[in-house]
Amino acid sequence: MQKQAQTSVPIHWPIANRWSPRAFGTAPVSAVDLTKILEAARWAPSCLNEQPWAFLVATRGQPEEFQKALSCLVEFNQGWAKNASVILFGLAHKVFNSSGKPNTYALHDLGLATASLMIEGESLGLRTHAMAGILPDRIREVFGVPEDFEPVTALAIGRPGDPETLPEPLLVREKAPRERKSLDQIAFGGQFGKPFADKGL
Amino acid sequence: MQKQAQTSVPIHWPIANRWSPRAFGTAPVSAVDLTKILEAARWAPSCLNEQPWAFLVATRGQPEEFQKALSCLVEFNQGWAKNASVILFGLAHKVFNSSGKPNTYALHDLGLATASLMIEGESLGLRTHAMAGILPDRIREVFGVPEDFEPVTALAIGRPGDPETLPEPLLVREKAPRERKSLDQIAFGGQFGKPFADKGL
C-alpha cells in the first residue's frame, strides 16, 4: 500500500514514499540490504563526529534472537512487529567518548542516523516503523547494554505487506490518511510563529 | 568537491554523497527547493506524530534577516556560514502539545526531521552543514522563541562551493577524509558489543 506524503512540491521519492506501516510481507530482508541500511546510519553526521549511536539487530531468520528482541517491545507493538523481518533497537551514547561529559546531542544525532537508515530502507523497497514503545530496562538486561548507552527506539523493518492481514482496529489505522501540521505551522521567517512563506517563498 | 561515504556496499546516492562542507557557491537556493527541503522535514515520523519541531529560516536574499541569523552562530561558524545561501535553525518542542508533559523524544524527532531535510537537499544538488555551535539565548531573544521550544541546531545550506575559497586551516579540514567508526563498532547482534556481522550478515 502506498501512502505518499501530500506535499506542495514533489520531494525525493524515498522520502515521499516512507511511512510507518504495521503490515509486513513475509520475504526476508537480504544480508546486503541490511548492511546497506546500517551503512546509511553509520555515515550520518553528528556533533563533533561523535557518532553517539549503536544498533542491536535481530532477524526473523534466527528465531531465538528474534523472540528475545520482540520481548523487549510493549505488548501492543509485539502484536504486529512479530511479522517484520528485522527488529532493530537504536541506542544513544549519553556521554562523550573523549571527555565522559554528557552529550546533549546524543538523542538528536541518533535521530539523524535513524532517518538515514529509514530513507535507505525505503530506497530498497523496504518499510520501516520506528517505535517509542519499548522496555528499556529489559533491553539493558537482555542485551547487556552498558550504563552510558540509552535504549531509545525500536524499528520494525520488512517488505510491504497486505493491510488485510491486520486485525480490524489496526487495519483502520493502517488505512487512515497520514497527517502533518502545515508548513506555515513549522517554518518561520523573521519571528517565531510568522510563516516563512509570507516572506515570498 | 565530492566526499562520498566509504561503504562496504553501495547506498542510496544522496545519502552516500551528503557531507558537511564549509565552502559554498554563491548561487541562491530557489524558493521551490527551499520548500522541498522543508516539506521533507515536515513529513518525517515522530513519537505519537507530535512533530516536535520548528524551523527558523533566513535567506541571503534578505540581507537584514540573514545578518540577524548569522549573529546567532558562534564566531567560528559565522566565519564560513556567511557564504551559505540559507541559515536555518532547528528547534525542538520540549513538551507534548496535548498534555504539556515533557517530550523525551523531541530532540530525537528533530533529528529525524533534520536528516530528511539534509537528504532532500542533497538530492537537489544542495549542500547542508549542521552545527551545534549556536547561541541559544540570542536565538530566543532575536526570534522571540517561546519557553517551551529549544534552539538545538543551525544549518548552513547552499550550492557546492570551491574549497580554495576557504582560509588555510578550514581548507585542510575541508579536504580531510571523512571518518566513521566501523560497522562492527555500532551494529550488534545478540549482545551489546558483539558485531552483528558475526551472525552471518
Q: Which residues contact A185 (CB under 8 A, 6 or more apart)?
A: none
Q: Is residue A127 part of a domain?
A: yes
Q: Is residue B4 part of a domain?
A: no
Q: Is residue B193 part of a domain?
A: no
A51 to B181: CB separation less than 8 angstroms, yes or no: yes
Residues of A in contact with B93 (CB under 8 A): none
Window B:129-158, CB contacts with A under 8 Å: 130, 132, 143-146, 149, 152-153
pLDDT at site A26: 86
Q: What is the mean pLDDT of residues B75-104?
A: 97
**Bridge partners (DSSP) listed for residue A113:** none
Element (H, E) at B12: none
Number of Cβ atoms within 10 Å of the Cβ of B30: 13
Q: Is residue A104 part of a domain?
A: yes
Confidence of residue B98 (pLDDT cuts 50, 70, 90): confident
SS3 A73: strand
Q: Which parts of chain A register pLDDT below 70? A: 199-201
Question: Can you tell me the distance from the alpha carbon of B83 to that of B60, in angstroms, rounded to the nearest whole number?
Answer: 9
pLDDT at site A197: 78
Cell numbers that stand for B181 in this block: 567508526
CA distance A164 to chain B (A): 23
pLDDT at site A200: 60
CA distance B188 to chain A (A): 5
Q: Is residue A83 part of a domain?
A: yes
Q: Is residue A169 part of a domain?
A: no
| Ramachandran assignment for B180, one of left (phi > 0), alpha (psi -120 to 50 degrees), beta (any other) | beta
pLDDT at site B52: 98
Q: Is the dihedral of CA A103, B97, A114, A15 positive or negative?
A: negative
pLDDT at site B14: 98
pLDDT at site B200: 60
Residue of A9, A48, A57 lying closest to B36 (CB–CB): A9
Residues of B in contact with A123 (CB under 8 A): 12, 15
Q: Is residue B61 part of a domain?
A: yes
Residue of B20, B65, B152 lying closest to A190 (CB–CB): B65
Chain A residue with CA closest to B9: the answer is A36
Window A:38-97, CB contacts with B under 8 Å: 38-45, 47-49, 51, 53-59, 62, 65, 91-92
**Bridge partners (DSSP) listed for residue B59:** B86
Residues of A in contact with B108 (CB under 8 A): 92, 107-108, 110-111, 114, 152-153
Q: What is the mean pLDDT of residues B21-41?
A: 95
pLDDT at site A161: 96
Convert the pLDDT of each residue in B68-88 to its tens digit: 999 999 999 999 999 999 999
Convert the pLDDT of each residue in B34-69 to its tens digit: 999 999 999 999 999 999 999 999 999 999 999 999
Q: Is residue B127 part of a domain?
A: yes
Q: Does residue B201 have a pLDDT over 60?
A: no
Residue of B32, B42, B109 lying closest to A111 (CB–CB): B109
Per-residue buried b or exposed e for A135-170, using 16+ beta carbons within 10 Å of the residue's own CB? beeebbebbebeebbbbbbbbbbbbebebebbeeeb
Q: What is the mean pLDDT of residues B100-107?
A: 97
Q: Say how far residue A42 (Cα) sits from the centre of its chain.
A: 14
Question: Can you tell me the distance from the alpha carbon of A14 to that of A28, in angstroms, rounded to the nearest whole number?
Answer: 20
Helices B106-123 and A106-123: angle between axes, nearest 10 degrees: 50
Domain total in chain B: 1
Q: Output the pTM of the full model.
A: 0.98
Question: What is the residue range of A89's domain?
Answer: 18-163
Q: Could you tell me if B105 lies within 8 Å of chain A, comparing CB atoms?
A: yes
Interface test mutation site (partner A, options B116, B142, B183, B194, max chain A beta carbons within 10 A): B116
8 Å CB contact between A83 and A161: yes
Which ipTM value was assigned to this complex?
A: 0.98
Q: Does residue B120 have a pLDDT over 60?
A: yes
8 Å CB contact between A48 and A36: no
Q: Does residue B198 have a pLDDT over 80?
A: no
Q: What is the CATH number of the domain that holds B34?
A: 3.40.109.10
Residues of B in contact with A189 (CB under 8 A): 56-58, 65
Q: Does residue B156 have a pLDDT over 70?
A: yes
